[in-house]
Structure 1
């Protein structure tokens, strides 16, 4: 694999050194170098030949030592790319990480899950639906993989007591990861593609408010989770005749060493932050600035300690910075506009590009990580005419999170598959079905709400 990576990197860089891309594709010298860098880092992101965050650093390194020196007159300053690694968007996601850490540290996730599971009234369907809604809600604020791991861990003792062919066991193993995937689209901080998409849009001067995002995304993921529960009922749960398995549910105990007062304070901090994000359009403070509030308060008042600070997903922030920096290069060199012209996308309608990029992202995310797909597709949308950028970028962003037919499609899928008892073909059937249904909800319901909120205008054809 390493040899293949070195070979691909060499084949990507070699034409740029001798100016072949310029003659083949009609590129400028800067665009040619940009393309070579994009090919190399995209290959590394897709194959994960080296850690993803290292590739994030590699983007910056190549831009500073190759792109800018080879640019010639009019080259941007180094700060143009350096600033991508601590931008407004990075701050937004950092705040999300701190909230996620607090939710886990103070056992708030366990409290929510325990309440849900304990009040299922002996119904297998209600249990699975409640588990899905709780997972999706937590996934709006926490890392998708961490949410899936936590929720599966809460009911792992029950699953061990069930036969691997149990309809209830299969339903849980599908509901949890798929709900974690779907819940991620609910807020701007829910999943990496959201944050990457918002970062690209902000660079172009488009600002979607936290509340506006939730206004179109929340109905989509709630309807999708309800539809997933319906699919699981039809395929599995209507065969579940006994409620005995429901009574076997056990969840891990909450952390009793944490005082109720500190837990209450943490809840208040989280709620104030969420309220600050939701009302950012009214008070005028940016979401990134609001995100600094939980960082300062939680660590400044020792509600979270240095260990928790060190355990934040700094590698993810570097990965995001690399993606943003790559997109910035696409914008500065004009390579994105060149691709749009080459693919003849500039004459399409807003609705046409919304559908096209959502389908393209969904298809690619079936086989690649949604983060990689976002980093690959979003730079191209930035080269569209100004009035077409927003619908194309939103389609690409959300579409990347709706693909879940294979164990390799998302980390939550792989985690659930590792528990055993479900076959790849079953995941293709259930995951493929909900991917299609969720895409329909997104394009129809989400598209309608985007139009009604005047975020996009689908009346122009």
Structure 2
């Protein structure tokens, strides 16, 4: 494996910017090589012109001694300063990270020492002096237990992997209370009773084979019946770690020890990897420049730098051994070998997870840069299609694939509709044929969705379905229709979509979305219900800003440590994956840029809603839907029965950079301007113009590059543009008016609420079986026209309800990208977590709940806003 690949594959993702920039240094070496070749060619020309003292031959160097020395000096002046800069970066980061980790180890050691040496008699004296209400008796009985419970709950909520600091007073008091409970009345009689600190080496806990043996050897019945023997054990100084009341603190120390061991091991690997990197890059440089720089630079510069000194390496190993000793003292009965095996196992699991994440990122980068794709199994070449008839089997030619047959069938329907007179005018007739043809292609995906979108303006212009806006509705010729349709396709809504993509790209590129998500998830604790709700809310909020296509991908990568540590047969894995998928669908309602159907809906809402209005309507609906889906998942799978606790997610500790602050600032300013766009219409004219601000801020400053711009979801943009073109064609041809009149005939006696229920139900059924965006493209123009022609017009209300319902359709694995991503999730054995039956059990009821919420709560909110 090339070292550049080895470096990329073994880095700590959060420290990626602080490793040796191996690829950049190689580019400098390539430039040095070019300069040397150029100098060599010049020297060769001098020799050929007679400048040399002898005839050149195969042994003659291309460079004279003076030219060679000049070229080497120039190469050194180009390469060595860059190397010095990299070394300085590594030394600064290592020293900073070392101080942080050593301080955490000291805090951990202090905490352990404090617990071992804490005098429970102090609590007794405080109780006797009135500092603790109830006196010694209350301290040793009921009030102590209640205080203990509260502090245990607080410790449980705070016992994340990222926490390692000094104990608060109330936690220390809780430990004393636990000791008081064990010693009983004897503590109240003797204020000088101090447990033996040395006895704390005999604790046991979960995490290794010896730990499991220790747990199995416990006899609860014996503990309950033999009180005298227990009292004798306490007099002998039994360890606090062995007390069941100490379980929460033991688990907190276990998490902290594991995290310290992992972090220190990563720092150790960081130094070794960079040391190897310097050796490799210097070797490559010497080979190109014919220097002997490696030996001198490594011995006199690199190995004398702080991270690579022998004493630094020894000091780091001592701290790793110190953490192992603490872990052994508390959990493995002092067995260092068992403790090290347990900690190395956790380190291996962590490395597997990180490498899996890095590998996925590398594949994603490769796919984006090289347009690499994997076709589904249905698209792979199979055997010839055989049609069975009464007269025998007919084998079709190889080019007759399923998609080809579906495409031919769609074209046949299109040709028939063009020649059957269903409407009075040719514009309506042709436009109806285009509408059905495009809908069939979108629904069957015989062609990629965006290709069908490109087909729409072609057919609209060739079949001349566009009419003039004058009173006579003159049919436009092809030249005028082409100008009009292209002018309509690139609307302010498309610019709004581009602005949303820029915000999402910046938040994803600089790990802002991931950092915010991990901080929230690290606070969720270990209860399955709380972790599930936290992940669902994170998925909804992430979908709100980085689209409900990217959000589930991010969230599924964050829960990998949880999925790997779940016991076999745990229902929580299904519960968690389904919760994220359904919450991501719900998040598609949350903001105007969270899903393409929202962008399409804004196009048909006159006047367009402000962001503030959208939030007032959508956010309460999203919250209610999330809570209802959460309760439904807990009721269906009952994860607490087979998974009482789970591992917590470690929050990132990287410092906030200036770039991240700038990205957040631009995003917040853009969102505020979007919220108050109506009041600033005199300045900006449309919210699409406001979307240019993040594009200028991010691309103009170099935060985002042209590669990021090329990686925008241009297929989604083309799809939206094709939908806008089809909607405008249906409207301009007069077909929309005719359909709306017919629909109005059926709903003329219904109230606006009843019409809202009818359209929401219709959208629910359509969007469940086809793409949410395609469903919006087909039905939103009709909804807008019907809403405008009601006796009491409510076009914005109906369009908004239908658009929200598009995101709420999530009953099948094919209902939206989050569901498709969830159904593809597999465990380490390659077995899928979910089946279609899981979506039927939870997805369909969730869709019904979303529909009811939209037509009740959503309808009420939109009515209050005067829609």
- Taking structure 1 as the reference length, the TM-score comes to 0.91
Query: Are residues 27 and 146 of structure 1, via their aligned partners in 2, closer, same or farther at CA, if it must alter by over 3 Å?
Result: farther
8 Å CA contact 1:187, 1:210 repeated in 2: yes
Quote how far apart the aligned CAs of 1:250 are.
Answer: 5.4
8 Å CA contact 1:403, 1:435 repeated in 2: yes
Task: Tell me which residue corresponds to 2:679.
Answer: 282
Task: Tell me which residue corresponds to 1:13.
Answer: 414
Over the aligned positions, Cα root-mean-square deviation in angstroms equals 2.2
User: Which residue of the other structure, out of 779, 800, 804, is the alignment partner of 1:398?
Assistant: 804
Task: Tell me which residue corresponds to 1:245.
Answer: 646
Q: Secondary structure at the match of 2:785?
A: coil
Q: Secondary structure at the match of 1:185?
A: coil
Distance 2:405 2:607 in 1: 40
User: Which residue of the other structure, out of 62, 82, 95, is the alignment partner of 2:459?
Assistant: 62
Deviates more, 1:264-273 or 1:49-58: 49-58
Deviations 1:284-314, CA, capped at 9 Å, x for gaps: 2321111111011100111111110110111
Task: Tell me which residue corresponds to 2:763.
Answer: 361
8 Å CA contact 1:85, 1:317 repeated in 2: no
8 Å CA contact 1:336, 1:381 repeated in 2: no
Deviations 1:298-354, CA, capped at 9 Å, x for gaps: 001111111101101111111000001100011101111211223324624322221
Q: 1:410 aligned to 2:807?
A: no
Q: 1:213 aligned to 2:213?
A: no
Deviates more, 1:337-346 or 1:446-455: 337-346
Task: Tell me which residue corresponds to 1:122.
Answer: 526
Task: State how 1:15-34 maps to structure 2 within 5 Å.
Answer: 15-18=416-419, 20=420, 22=421, 25-34=422-431
Deviates more, 1:104-113 or 1:152-161: 152-161
Q: 1:443 aligned to 2:849?
A: no
Distance 1:30 1:364 in 2: 26
Deviations 1:32-61, CA, capped at 9 Å, x for gaps: 111111111111111122111111111111
Deviations 1:126-178, CA, capped at 9 Å, x for gaps: 11111111110111122212100110011123213324631221221111111
Q: Secondary structure at the match of 1:206?
A: coil
Distance 1:399 1:358 in 2: 6
Task: Tell me which residue corresponds to 1:424.
Answer: 836
Query: Are residues 237 and 281 of structure 1, via their aligned partners in 2, closer, same or farther at CA, if it must alter by over 3 Å?
Result: farther
Task: Tell me which residue corresponds to 1:338.
Answer: 738
Quote how far apart the aligned CAs of 1:69 are.
Answer: 8.5
Q: Secondary structure at the match of 1:405?
A: coil
User: Which residue of the other structure, out of 629, 633, 658, is the alignment partner of 1:261?
Assistant: 658
User: Which residue of the other structure, out of 718, 724, 727, is the alignment partner of 1:324?
Assistant: 724
Deviates more, 1:112-121 or 1:4-13: 4-13
Task: Tell me which residue corresponds to 1:228.
Answer: 629
Quote how far apart the aligned CAs of 1:70 are.
Answer: 10
Distance 1:389 1:315 in 2: 29
Deviations 1:420-452, CA, capped at 9 Å, x for gaps: 222221221111121111211111111100000
8 Å CA contact 1:338, 1:383 repeated in 2: no
Q: Secondary structure at the match of 1:298?
A: helix
User: Which residue of the other structure, out of 766, 773, 786, is the alignment partner of 1:371?
Assistant: 773
Query: Are residues 391 and 244 of structure 1, via their aligned partners in 2, closer, same or farther at CA, if it must alter by over 3 Å?
Result: closer
Q: 1:189 aligned to 2:593?
A: yes
Higher Cα Rg: structure 1 or 2? Answer: 2
8 Å CA contact 1:193, 1:397 repeated in 2: yes
Task: Tell me which residue corresponds to 1:43.
Answer: 440
Distance 1:241 1:16 in 2: 58
Query: Are residues 4 and 288 of structure 1, via their aligned partners in 2, closer, same or farther at CA, if it must alter by over 3 Å?
Result: same
8 Å CA contact 2:423, 2:429 repeated in 1: no
Task: State how 1:65-214 maps to structure 2 within 5 Å.
Answer: 65-68=462-465, 73-75=474-476, 77-163=481-567, 165-201=569-605, 205-214=606-615
Query: Are residues 172 and 103 of structure 1, via their aligned partners in 2, closer, same or farther at CA, if it must alter by over 3 Å?
Result: same
Distance 2:457 2:771 in 1: 21
Which structure 1 segments of 5+ residues have no match?
456-461
8 Å CA contact 1:183, 1:190 repeated in 2: yes
Distance 1:230 1:2 in 2: 41
8 Å CA contact 2:467, 2:733 repeated in 1: no
Deviations 1:371-414, CA, capped at 9 Å, x for gaps: 11111111222432442433332222111111111111111112
Q: Secondary structure at the match of 1:302?
A: coil
Distance 2:598 2:672 in 1: 19
Q: Secondary structure at the match of 1:190?
A: coil
Query: Are residues 81 and 346 of structure 1, via their aligned partners in 2, closer, same or farther at CA, if it must alter by over 3 Å?
Result: farther
Distance 1:54 1:31 in 2: 23
Distance 2:728 2:432 in 1: 13
Q: 1:298 aligned to 2:702?
A: no
Distance 1:70 1:422 in 2: 50
Q: Secondary structure at the match of 1:408?
A: coil
Distance 2:409 2:632 in 1: 42
Distance 1:172 1:238 in 2: 9
Query: Are residues 164 and 70 of structure 1, via their aligned partners in 2, closer, same or farther at CA, if it must alter by over 3 Å?
Result: farther
Distance 1:245 1:366 in 2: 33
Deviates more, 1:74-83 or 1:27-36: 74-83
Quote how far apart the aligned CAs of 1:213 are.
Answer: 1.2
Distance 2:498 2:632 in 1: 36
Query: Are residues 228 and 358 of structure 1, via their aligned partners in 2, closer, same or farther at CA, if it must alter by over 3 Å?
Result: same
Quote how far apart the aligned CAs of 1:121 are.
Answer: 2.2
